[in-house]
Amino acid sequence: MVTLTSFIRVGSLVSLRSSNFITPGALLRERVKAGMAQARRAGKRIGRPALRHFGPGEQERIRSLRTQGASVRRLAKDFATTQWMIAKLLGSPEAVESVAA
């Protein structure tokens, strides 16, 4: 078990299981959070990478097709991405809501 004194040297105080001991899970969570924060400070992206990235020309084409009446589902299929990504590119709250429904 990790005692409180050794834990204070490692990081911040989280939750105590009893008066002198900390759960191993709490220590692990703190270390993971600290590592992710350090990675963010170093400029790393955290999370799953995007399916694909769209250039300005593609974004404009998606917007123009949508104004011509193309569905979000059709655009996602044509541009080999997800409906959620198309709705995000369009930037309209109703498009995002229609995908989420």
Q: Which residues, at least 6 apart from 34, have a Cβ–Cβ distance to it below 8 Å?
A: 11
* Per-residue pLDDT at 16: 47
pTM of the model: 0.49
The string of DSSP codes covering 52-93 is ----HHHHHHHHHHHHTT--HHHHHHHTTS-HHHHHHHHT-H
Tell me, yes or no, whether 49 lies in a domain. Answer: no
Residue that the structure tokens 């995000």 belong to: 88
**Domain span holding position 32:** 4-41
Whether 30 maps to a domain, the answer reads yes
Q: Is residue 47 part of a domain?
A: no
| Mean per-residue pLDDT pooled into runs of 10, the chain (101 residues) | 50 50 86 94 88 88 94 94 91 56 50
The reply to whether 51 falls in a domain is no
Any domain includes 86: yes
**How far separated are the first and last CA of the chain, in Å rounded?**
48
